Amino acid sequence: MLIPHPLLGLRDAQEFTYLGDAALIDRPDPAAGEDAFCDYVFLRDNPAGVHRELWYHEQGDRSWLVVTRNTLTHEILGAELARDVALARREGRA
């Protein structure tokens, strides 16, 4: 798989380590309680189809990316800097 890094162009997925569902960006508020954190840490949507997920460019520029990928075909549909995604979400909430 080749990941279209927004800054570096197409990079081999082997340069990255995989964390999982991009929903992990949305860590609950510390006051949200145990149930919210339990859901956050342990439960996943695990869809068959389009999946937004976190990849870390460990053997590259060490940036976190949000990669959109189809889990049925392994087709990669896009990649963004996770930082941009997190900032956009924060602005969306504000």
- Asked if 11 contacts 3 with a C-beta cutoff of 8 angstroms, the reply is yes
Q: Which lies closer to another protein via its Cβ, residue 77 or residue 87?
A: 77
How does 34-63 read in b/e, with b if 16+ C-beta sit within 10 Å?
eeeeeeeeeeeeeeeeebbbbbbbeebeeb
Q: How far is the CB of 19 from another protein (least distance, A)?
A: 8
Separation of alpha carbons 26 and 83, rounded Å: 12
Q: Which lies closer to another protein via its Cβ, residue 44 or residue 90?
A: 44
Q: Which lies closer to another protein via its Cβ, residue 42 or residue 94?
A: 42
- Asked if 85 contacts 53 with a C-beta cutoff of 8 angstroms, the reply is no
Q: How far is the CB of 7 from another protein (least distance, A)?
A: 21
Contact set with another protein (CB under 8 A): 1, 12-14, 17-21, 34-35, 38-39, 41-48, 51, 53, 69, 71-74
Q: How far is the CB of 31 from another protein (least distance, A)?
A: 18
